[in-house]
């Protein structure tokens, strides 16, 4: 990512990624294989009518990342790279239930879309326990947590606190 920035009138000191699919996602592989290349344009057309972006989906496959993106996007020598992964166990009604199961079979621990293995890049700072891929970007389903709260369960991941702590970590690194 940093190697492709234009213009370069500034100096990038570090890049920290959180549950980014550096090695692609087995779920993208599964969907592409299940749907097939011939039917993929029809799916894209439907998703675009719903207002959903589709352009990057094929670029999330493990093959694309391995064969294209990663070789064409090398790390910059004097930039510090940090990464975090995430591990969740989605319930049966979670939108990540099926994708989590598919990724688990191939790569193990994951957040519902990205495995911990794929999220690791540069200095791996750790695995966030509990949040789904959407929780990480603070797109938490508040109704879900209200309902779980009725049964004594509470969201243990605070995205705002995590990102503030991440800023502190970068400051401690001198960045």
* 41-85 confidence digits (pLDDT tens): 777 777 777 766 666 778 889 999 999 999 999 999 999 999 999
Query: By residue range, what is the domain housing residue 141?
Result: 2-172
**Number of folded domains in the chain?**
1
Comparing C-alpha atoms, which of 118, 136, 132, 120 is closest to residue 60?
A: 118
Residue 126, classed as helix, strand or coil, is strand
* pTM greater than the 0.75 cutoff: yes
CATH of the domain at 76: 3.40.50.1820
What does the pLDDT look like over 18-47, one tens digit per residue? 999 999 999 989 888 887 777 777 777 777
- E-only strand ranges, the chain: 14-18, 80-87, 123-129
Could you give the C-alpha distances from 92 to 32, 54, 96, 98, 174, in angstroms and in order? 23, 26, 9, 9, 43
């Amino acid at each position: 990512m940093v190697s492709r920035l234009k213009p370069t009138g500034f100096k990038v000191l570090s890049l920290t990624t959180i549950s980014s699919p550096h090695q692609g996602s087995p779920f993208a592989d599964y969907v592409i294989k299940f749907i097939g290349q011939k039917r993929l344009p029809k799916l894209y057309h439907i998703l675009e009518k719903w207002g959903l972006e589709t352009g990057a989906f094929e670029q999330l496959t493990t093959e694309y990342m391995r064969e294209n993106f990663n070789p064409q996007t090398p790390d910059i020598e004097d930039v510090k790279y940090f990464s975090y992964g995430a591990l969740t166990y989605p319930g049966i009604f979670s939108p990540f239930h099926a994708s989590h199961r598919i990724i688990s079979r191939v790569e193990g621990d994951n957040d519902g879309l990205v495995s911990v293995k794929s999220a690791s890049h540069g200095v791996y700072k750790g695995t966030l326990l509990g949040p789904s891929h959407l929780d990480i970007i603070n797109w938490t389903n508040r109704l879900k947590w209200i309902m779980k709260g009725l049964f004594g369960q509470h969201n243990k991941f605070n995205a705002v606190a995590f990102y503030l702590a991440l800023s502190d970590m970068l400051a401690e690194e001198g960045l």
